[in-house]
């Protein structure tokens, strides 16, 4: 049995999660249900849970404030949230599991399955650090991303990424340090996370950081030269949009 605590300031949300866990996860025992940071901190200290379902917004406080008040934690965290797209993107950057309210039973089952298959508290701690960083205001231009790899996660600042290159169901990430990271995710996955940023998909196989484009060479589609010396073909249908992004006032 896994011991769990639910932390949420809305009773109807606690009730729904309680019922879902009874139906979908008989191996999880809910030890406590808390509505405030103080209650949750006390229960975590007393109950030593394996898992905490943590609401992002707790009245005028946040679940992050609870975690920051703990000297350490040796439990897994699954966040619950009704936040907007900005917050959801922060979760995707960190690769932390979250459940969007109202919680769907299939989403819950998926999150619990991943937790059972890959329980690594050291990785959880690092991913929460990334989540803290990316939730802070003013970090739009300096985000950290948890990149899923075959061995775990690589933690990288997006400002250090030059380009992503597709390799069927994998993606190779090239960084300023000339390090190549192979991710167990498709290029489309990273394109979705990095939309509305300095990254732009110039070709079906390439997502590049426009900050590192040194030259654009004209042609049918043309190609670009990046800071690491790589020469990347530009798809014809992407050419006009790329030129606008590189020279918006031209």
pLDDT at 85: 59
Average pLDDT (86-103) is: 78
Average pLDDT (46-54) is: 92
CB contact at 8 A, 92 and 121? no
Distance CA 114, CA 101 (A): 19
**pLDDT band with cut points at 50, 70 and 90 for residue 61:** confident
Among 6-10, 63-67, 185-189, name the one with the lowest average pLDDT.
Answer: 63-67
Single out the residue of 106, 105, 54, 110 nearest to residue 83, CA to CA: 54
| Portion of the chain with pLDDT greater than 90, in percent | 53
pLDDT at 138: 46
pLDDT at 181: 95
**pLDDT band with cut points at 50, 70 and 90 for residue 136:** low
Q: Which residue has the higher pLDDT, 87 or 183?
A: 183
Single out the residue of 204, 212, 203, 157 nearest to residue 181, CA to CA: 157
**pLDDT band with cut points at 50, 70 and 90 for residue 122:** low
Rg (CA), the chain: 21
Q: Which residue has the higher pLDDT, 250 or 27?
A: 27
pLDDT (tens digit per residue) in 196-220: 789 999 999 999 999 999 999 998 8
pLDDT (tens digit per residue) in 4-45: 999 999 999 999 999 999 998 999 999 999 999 999 999 999
What's this model's pTM, rounded to 2 decimal places? 0.68
pLDDT at 141: 57
Helices (H) and strands (E) in the chain, counts: 8, 17
Mapped onto helix, strand or coil, the DSSP state of residue 32 is strand
**pLDDT band with cut points at 50, 70 and 90 for residue 87:** low
């Amino acid at each position: 049995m896994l011991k769990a605590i639910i932390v949420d300031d809305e009773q109807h949300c606690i009730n729904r999660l309680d019922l879902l866990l009874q139906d979908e996860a008989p191996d999880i025992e809910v030890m406590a249900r808390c509505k405030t940071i103080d209650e949750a901190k006390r229960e975590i200290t007393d109950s030593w849970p394996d898992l905490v379902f943590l609401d992002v917004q707790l009245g005028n406080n946040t679940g992050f404030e609870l975690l920051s008040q703990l000297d350490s934690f040796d439990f897994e965290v699954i966040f619950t949230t009704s936040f907007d797209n900005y917050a959801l993107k922060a979760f995707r950057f960190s690769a932390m599991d979250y459940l969007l309210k109202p919680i769907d039973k299939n989403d819950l089952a998926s999150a619990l399955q991943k937790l059972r298959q890959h329980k690594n508290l050291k990785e959880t701690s690092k991913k929460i650090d990334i989540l803290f960083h990316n939730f802070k205001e003013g970090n739009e231009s300096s985000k950290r991303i948890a990149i899923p790899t075959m061995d775990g996660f690589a933690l990288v600042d997006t400002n250090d990424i030059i380009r992503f290159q597709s390799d069927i169901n994998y993606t190779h990430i090239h960084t300023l340090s000339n390090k190549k990271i192979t991710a167990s995710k498709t290029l489309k996955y990273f394109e979705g996370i990095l939309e509305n940023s300095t990254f732009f998909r110039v070709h079906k196989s390439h997502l590049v950081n426009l900050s590192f484009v040194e030259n654009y060479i004209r042609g049918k589609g043309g190609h670009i030269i990046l800071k690491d010396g790589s020469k990347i073909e530009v798809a014809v249908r992407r050419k006009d949009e790329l030129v606008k992004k590189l020279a918006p006032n031209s």
